[in-house]
Structure 1
Amino acid sequence: MSFLASNLRFLRKQKDITQTQLADQLSVQRTMISAYEDGRSEPKIGTLKKISEILEVSVEELLFHDIESQGRKAAQKRNLNILTIAVDEEDRENILLVGQKASAGYLNGFADREYMQGLQQFHIPTLSKNATYRAFELAGDSMLPLIPGTIVIGSYVDQLRDIKSGKTYILVTQTEGVVYKRVFNYIADNGKLYLVSDNEHYKPYDVPAEDVLEAWEAKAFISTDFPNPGDKKKPLSLEDLGDMIQDIQEDLKRLKARD
């Protein structure tokens, strides 16, 4: 069963796009959009791909997922990954450390028990025992004042829909690999997460939720670099970050309108 007609009508109205505006972007008559939404006609594959881009939804979700009644597919409860963990002789769960060199292989090895057992392990008794933790060594300067080489410890997030906007997370993604960013959750709106660097020289970007393999909420960090009061910079506020995200969204809309 195809949900194209109802999804098209629902997503178009959600984005406040008229039938005429959508028709202009697709280079078809407005009556054709009406026919699509009434189920009297179906678009060709090329037009279908353009519709999915404009509405920021995959073709598969547009056709086969009832978005209006069930919400975005990415916001649904997902099957949990079976995490590989390590315990010490007292049966306490250790923290596995993914170093900079190991991060490249983590994308393929995070579900491989042999690979995971080869990672360094340590234990921090002050962390809550009600969560599973993993540590990742940062590379690059996108999250200053945390410098390259800083180790960020994150707790496992079962469901992506539980990600809190404005908090920092380590994400393991199919497209970007392992990244540490401040995340804004727009899964319910468009199925995406917006990733923002605390270093303003790096532009925010979005990642489809279905590309995220693992998410770890940052809980602590270990660094050999001590803060220098003379080097203090005004941190970006959540309001500043929100404005940055809004600017990015407006830019995306303008680019799509040109297409």
Structure 2
Amino acid sequence: MKTANLFWSENLRFLRNRRQLSQNQLAEDLKISRAKLNAHENGLSRNPPLEDLIRFADYFKMSLDTLLRINLSKLGELKVRELEAGNDVYLTGRQIRVLATTVDKQNNENVELVPIKAKAGYLAGYNDPEFISKLPRFSIPDLPPGKTYRLFPIKGESMLPVPEDSIIIASYVQDILAIRKDTPCIVVVKGQDIAFKLVDVSGIQTTGKMWLKSLNVRFTPYEVDVSDVLEVWQFYGYLSKTIPEEINNAEIVSALNHLQTGMQELLRRGQ
């Protein structure tokens, strides 16, 4: 049987250096001797005690699978930041991020609606299959295949000319670094809100921040820490009882042309 590559030593050294800690400082934090830490970092501890493994995993907020099997120095900056924030979402194992969805009788994915009154619950239950299964769900014809869609009602005037009380249809974003600058998206932010904004991710790899802007210039752009971003859903179109007097965003104009069929019925069922 082929022996798996283990990156325990390299990862401990990599993570310590990212925090700009000396061996003495980290050993003190972990309440172990510097000699023991040095042995771990240089591969001299052949059979490290389980309590040591757990001690390191708890300190760095990463699973043992991650620390043992993944060469962290080869990951992109965004992925490392996510792992350091305690979100072990990129790796196979019990911490994997699996998007919770529901399906119809033909095993086709539904389009779930996140009502305004369920927004607070969604921040806690966005990845809980039981919570998602209780959301209203619909089938919308002619959506491009191969993506997962969700419906998000919006309030306020920050994204005018998209009318208040519109329902945004958005597709789940797997890799936020692939989002083009100022793409309209639904952004689910831990401890804050579900926001519909123009997204700028150009500074993520250097600052760890994502800029969120409004179409309505009266609202000031702001930034959020990428480690607090739970989900991003890219705008596809919207449903509304109101037709805006003026639309300047070409993407919104294009998407609106695809969403006339069945609009009133969907709105009625979603109330």
TM bucket normalised to smaller = 0.5 to 0.7
Match of 1:172 in 2: 188
Aligned-partner Cα distance in 1 for 2:135–2:17: 49
1:203 and 2:220 aligned: yes
Tell whether the 8 Å contact from 1:7 to 1:68 is kept in structure 2 after alignment: no
Rounded Cα–Cα distance in structure 2 between residues aligned with 1:114 and 1:69:
35
Question: What CA RMSD, in Å, does the superposition of the two structures yield over aligned residues?
Answer: 3.5
* 1-structure distance, mates of 2:207, 2:90: 17
Cα 1:135/1:235, change in 2 over 3 Å: closer
| 2:200 is aligned with 1:184 | yes
**In structure 1, how many angstroms separate the alpha carbons of the residues matched to 2:117 and 2:199?**
24
Gaps of 5+ in 2: 1-11, 30-59, 61-70, 84-88, 251-271
Number of residue pairs aligned between Structure 1 and Structure 2: 188
Partner of 1:142 in structure 2? 158
Q: 1:157: which partner in 2? A: 173
1:100 aligned to 100, 116, 138, which one?
116
Partner secondary structure for residue 143 of structure 2:
coil
Is the contact made by 1:160 and 1:209 (CA closer than 8 Å) also made in structure 2? Answer: no
What corresponds to 2:90 in structure 1? Answer: 78
Query: One-letter code of the match for 2:125?
Result: G
1:219 and 2:231 aligned: no
Q: Which has the higher contact order (CA 8 A, sep 6+)?
A: 1
Percent identity, aligned pairs only? 32
Question: Helix, strand or coil: the match of 1:86?
Answer: coil
Distance 1:4 1:221 in 2: 44
Q: What letter matches 2:237 in structure 1?
A: A
- 1:41 and 1:108, CA in 2 relative to 1: closer, same or farther beyond 3 A? closer
In structure 1, C-alpha distance between the alignment counterparts of 2:249 and 2:156, rounded to whole Å: 18
Counterpart of 1:130? Answer: 146
Residues 203 and 67 (structure 1), Cα distance of their counterparts in 2 relative to 1, 3 Å cut: farther
Task: Give the direction of change, closer, same or farther, for the CA distance of 1:203–1:2 in structure 2 (3 Å limit).
Answer: farther
Letter in 1 for 2:184: T
Residue 155 of structure 1 aligns with an amino acid whose one-letter code is S
**Structure 1: runs of 5+ lacking an equivalent:** 9-35, 46-59, 61-65, 237-259
The Cα offsets for residues 141-200 of structure 1, whole Å up to 9 and x where unpaired, read as: 111111221111111111222222110111111132211110001212211111111111
Determine if contact 1:75/1:187 at 8 Å carries over to the other structure: no
Equivalent-residue separation in structure 2 for 1:40 and 1:118 (angstroms): 50
**TM-score, normalising length from structure 2?**
0.59
- Range 72-81 or range 201-210, more displaced: 72-81
**Mean alpha-carbon deviation: is it higher for 190-199 or for 69-78?**
69-78
**Offset at residue 7 of structure 1 (A):** 5.8
- Quick check: 1:75–1:161 contact (8 Å CA) kept in 2? no
Cross-structure match for 1:118: 134
Helix, strand or coil: the match of 2:206?
A: helix
Q: State the AA in 2 paired with 1:126.
A: D
Rg larger in 1 or in 2? 2
The residue type paired with residue 161 of structure 1 is L
